[in-house]
Amino acid sequence: MLVESQRKAGFIIVGPMGAGKDYVCDALCAALEERGAHPAVKAVGDYFYAVVADRHRASLADIRAEKAVYLSELQEVGGSPYFQKNAILALGSWLRMVDPARVPVIVARKREEVEALRLVMPLYTLGVDAPLVERIARVGDRDGVQPTEAQLTAPTEQAAVASLAVADGVLVNDRLAGNLTITIANECVSFKNKRASLLVGPINALSYLEFTAPGIAL
């Protein structure tokens, strides 16, 4: 088991498209909620969805529901240095406002985002990865259209792959990994599947909890 013993405030989840970042984020947030440590969740991509929604006078739900229609525009906004900078500034401001009794969980895309946000507070960077062929299939199932070669080689996607290099630990989330088990106990969070095992903590907000019961596993 890979152990991270430095005290952290929360998590940044990174990795390429289709690796399973949202799956890991949802599982982590569910485990925290079950244990009474309420997460505060944001995704860098939410900022870009909000920009596109504002352009079309639509709701975020509308843009997400018709992602295939707006995909090229979302990629254009997400690849813009101007919007990238504003997204990081907005997330940094949000982080500073998070209640210290909550656990920040951020889904990011790029090394630059990770490095900027870790300057705001000590966040554990959790990488999520999977083989390319599996990632392509997952994105196709999710978006209703297979990713093109141009998407897979776009600078933003290459940056997402490169973000794994600055991760404190990496979960391999391929078809052999099986279910992810997340256990919270003694101010720490453990992640375990058949391919990886990580122990992270202590986490600041977990010090507010009474650890008199066994950890909760999902």
Residue 93: the pLDDT is: 94
Residue 123 is predicted with a pLDDT of 95
Q: Which fold has domain 2-208?
A: Rossmann fold (3.40.50)
**DSSP code at position 10:** E
* pLDDT tens-digit map of 174-200: 999 999 999 998 899 999 999 999 999
Tell me what pLDDT residue 47 has.
93
Q: pTM for the full model?
A: 0.86
Domains of the chain: which residue ranges? Answer: 2-208
How far, in Å, CA of 78 to CA of 87, rounded?
Answer: 9
pLDDT digits (tens, 9 = 90+) for 109-118: 888 899 999 9
Task: Please give the full DSSP string across 157-187, using - where no structure is assigned.
Answer: HHHHHHGGGG-SEEEE-STTS---EEEEETT
Mean pLDDT over 205-217 rounds to 63
pLDDT of residue 138: 83
Query: Which pLDDT does position 3 carry in this prediction?
Result: 54
Instruction: Give strand pairing partners of 124.
Output: 11
What is the structure's pLDDT at 215?
47
The pLDDT value recorded for residue 197 is: 92
Range in 31-40, 145-154, 206-215 the model is least confident about: 206-215
Percentage of the residues of the chain whose pLDDT score is greater than 90: 56
Task: Give the pLDDT of residue 212.
Answer: 47
User: pLDDT by residue (tens digit) across 83-108?
Assistant: 999 999 999 999 999 999 899 999 99
Mean pLDDT score of the chain: 87
